[in-house]
Structure 1
Amino acid sequence: MLLSSRFIGLLLGLVFYSAAAWAQASNDAFVFGDLLPDAPELAARGNHSVGVRTLTVTHPDQLDVLRSKGGQTPRYDRKLTLEIWYPARIPAGKTERVVYDQVMGSSNDPKRPLIPFTFAGRALRDAEPDPATGAYPLVIVSHGYLGSRLLFTYLTENLASKGYVVVGIDHAESTFRDAGGFASTLLNRSLDDLFVLNEIARLGAKNSQSFLAGLVDSDNTALIGYSMGGYGALNVVGAGYSAQAAKTFGQLSGGSNALDIRTTANPAYKTSIDPRIKVAVAFAPWGMERGVWDAEGLAGLKVPTLFIAGSKDDISGYEKGIKAIYDGAVNADRYLLTYLNARHNVAPNPPPVESLKPGLHFDEYYRYAEPAWNERRINNINQHFVTAFLGLHLKKLDYAKYLTLPLSPNEGAWTGFKPRSAVGLELRHDKP
């Protein structure tokens, strides 16, 4: 039977409409960090467009503790891959869209082979930097074990849109792709952070040939760490490790005493504390339940610090872990944001779609997911509070009202939150 020209026209119109609708839906699809309807006020992106670039740097002549034997430790050049988000100029006809390459799995676990996947972000690869408002404060971000520099794009892109240069580190021997022995992570977290700070300061000098020249104010730096990243970040800003931590490290590293230099008792440790780092954010920092810190070490933490934790954290611990660190940091102006009934995953992106596939190891999903919380909601709340904390201390913005809150929203309204939307949270604040 022949189809009428009118029917064919209607059919073609429907096809073209469907294609256009699909393209629109694809363009508007949820991207990690986008706002849910109940997102708090400061979760929204800022006024800057965002660019992103990848950079590899080399920390020469470092101790290779994974090859220590009998107290003898060889040396090697340690390569670190960095992802850098920054305020940018977006050319006409271009949009803030990027595709990130990531893997799930663990290179040191044969039961969890590496599985490549991609996910979208709201930044433009290699965009021209925008120095319109001068140099921007620096934010250095350190992942957990195992992890990746791309684990927090909901936050790194968000902060760049608010006028920060944000640097995510791939800590060698501690990522999904190159997992090595735990001793490397114990030693190198703080050393990597300090090296990256110095490298970004060098590249940000006005006479540098880097795209960062004149763009970054490394004298006004925040350090953000998650899990083992929090372990290292707290050490960088003043919480020296204990003698027990050094002893444990020696047992894990073939008798090496390399961690001694990061302990409170070592005179060289105090000289390493860098005044350019003004604040720290520690998501679920690991180590307190393992004796990593004692009272003297925690007393050395003096910069303003925001702790973020789940009350049921079964990796870092809560009462004897993260909250004990918070309670012991008696010389710091400090906050503790607690997600009630959350476990350890209070920092990363939501689970990627690929982690939902049948047959995958359960931990590919539980690397990201929380059993009692919507991870996208956690992301929005983190965006809000980290923005308030960094804005207050690095940009001197009038954000104290977002941090001066009752312990629980049951005791009074939380500024910046929509009615009824702060349930399940607590915020503590203590001063020296």
Structure 2
Amino acid sequence: MAVGLGPLSTLHPVPGFELGIASAGIKRPGRKDVVVMRCAEGSSVAGVFTLNAFCAAPVILAKKRVQGPVRYLLTNTGNANAGTGEPGLQDASRTCAALAQLAGVEESTVLPFSTGVIGEPLPVEKIEGALQAALDDLSEKHWAEAAVGIMTTDTLPKGASRQFVHDGVTVTVTGISKGAGMIKPNMATMLGYIATDAKVAQGVLRDLLRDAANKSFNRITIDGDTSTNDCCMLIATGKAALPEITQASGALFAALKQAVFEVCMEVAQAIVRDGEGATKFVTVQVNGGATHQECLDVGYAVAHSPLIKTALFASDPNWGRILAAVGRAGVAQLDVSKIDVFLGEVCIASRGCRAASYTEAQGSAVMAEAEITIRIELGRGSCSETIWTTDLSHEYVKINAEYRT
């Protein structure tokens, strides 16, 4: 039940970046579950990856290979190839080798990505059998099809696109993502792919992706679980007829940064809007912190609280649960007498206790909405952070209880 998430908007093709989709039948026959992406020769590629110590075999390989030239990205859904040890690494390498042979490139230029059930062997033969069809399907126009191809428990595909003009040249940034559960990225989302035809030096691209992920993918949470397979990639093909961006300054870099940030934010928030069983899209805004980290600590304490999330599902303005979460966030020497809490524009708590003007009817009216903002004013400093999350519904439990069946 996606909240405020409709059909995909126009996803502009990115010159020099092609996508092909095929069916390997990993979980069910006919399902489009293999996506091959081809980067133009000479493209710059950057990635951010999960911090989970049990990172999947494809993550291990992709982290190593992204340091060198990259020509192909190979994604499968339905199987995470995580918790599979050395055999999993061999399986990931084998699928990359098969694609490299078909495409006539070095195996080291192929990066693998997987998402799905953890702990099961990768069905290598099925994936190998779908590779030629995916290569035959390659097109710069297949962003929407690829957005569907990388889905697992997602109910809708997720994508965004921006264009801007610099010195008479149109520059495109387009991206897709997938994810609906096991979302507290700690770097990126479960899987995200963003491409631009700007020409960007490797170091600048890497820093740009890190900064964009920190303000978007690293500010979303559905259930507080960091996946074993989180990856987000940023590709710059260099096909736009503009000078290479070699430093993080100037008008061209500023325009590109804004476009990349907007695409990352849109596809990251789409993950929350499509959270498993979600009926509410919730913004947790924390202002007045002494540091950014304590703002994040407070925000995540609220966003991860099962008591708050179930109250959101029930549209119950049980504001005491919010105060309790703020109080246990671990902020040193927190003066609760300075804290104000708002539901939307309604002040529910002032100076650490119920606001004199607050009524239950006001709180109930806000909680009945599909999109809710919880704003917390700490009164300690000038730092602010924003996190996006969901409620916790019966459907979330059902989806995850039945995930392997």
With structure 1 as the length reference, what TM-score do the two structures score? 0.22
The one of the two structures with greater contact order (alpha-carbon pairs below 8 A, sep at least 6) is 2
With structure 2 as the length reference, what TM-score do the two structures score? 0.23
